[in-house]
Structure 1
């Protein structure tokens, strides 16, 4: 039907973006499941007053879960191309690094903590930012170097 085998193969960069997208989707879904999310009944749409915690650790709200779902969908869509996967990993990682800084600067009880974020979220955002940028940079270098070295 016109689909070439080459169209069905993904580079390691695209696989990393796809996996990250799936992880974000799963986290977004889990945030809406009572039991997996403790204090589910106290989940607010947004703001620091949401007392719901994913896995009893990460403070979440409806908005926070929706952001994870949208990030996951973006990862799935952008993983379809090499450039999209690279952009998702690098710029998505930058967004998470900025969220980490935001979480450190904004007080946890502040109205500006609208996502909401707690200490566990902050450190997870740092880790996600480093991993995503690292994967985006390292895997795109390897692929672009192999393209130069071994032309098809």
Structure 2
């Protein structure tokens, strides 16, 4: 039983699709910031603006660049803005998931050691992009359904 002076949960009454989009937005913002933090990102001294020659790795695994981090920050901000409505939240999750599937395909097609790898992406990024794409689309479809 809740205490009478307990603070209300800010998620109470918020549709699940909006909560999912808000959570995704916050996580993208967090990842974008962490991509600049030494210790969490190894090789920050080798961080480049863009391209395959960036030597920075988030959590020592995911190759990142300044552009890559800025994209995550922008993605997070857009996610939070679109999460203000059910339609926007669903669009962010499904559309954003589709973008991540395209990034996964880009990672498969792009030669990782050339200028075509502008973001940059590596094999770990590819698996992450596949998971994010499928997961975001699933969240958008499953949490965005109208209730009876």
**Under a length normalisation based on structure 2, what TM-score does the superposition of the two structures give?**
0.91
**Following the alignment from structure 1 to structure 2, what is the Cα–Cα distance between the partners of residues 84 and 45?**
31
CA RMSD of aligned residues (A): 0.9
**Following the alignment from structure 1 to structure 2, what is the Cα–Cα distance between the partners of residues 82 and 59?**
33
1:65 aligns with 2:69: yes
Aligned to 1:42: 46
SS of residue in 2 equivalent to 1:24: helix
1:9 aligns with 2:18: no
Can you give the 5+ residue segments of structure 1 that lack an aligned partner in the other structure? 1-7
Can you give the 5+ residue segments of structure 2 that lack an aligned partner in the other structure? 1-11
1:24 aligns with 2:40: no
**Following the alignment from structure 1 to structure 2, what is the Cα–Cα distance between the partners of residues 84 and 119?**
31
Aligned residue among 135, 138, 144 for 1:140: 144
Query: Deviations 1:99-122 (Å, cap 9, x if unpaired)?
Result: 000000101102110000000000
Q: Which has the higher helix share?
A: 1
Runs of 4+ in 1 over 6 A off after TM superposition: none
**Under a length normalisation based on structure 1, what TM-score does the superposition of the two structures give?**
0.88
Aligned to 1:106: 110
| Matched residue count | 137
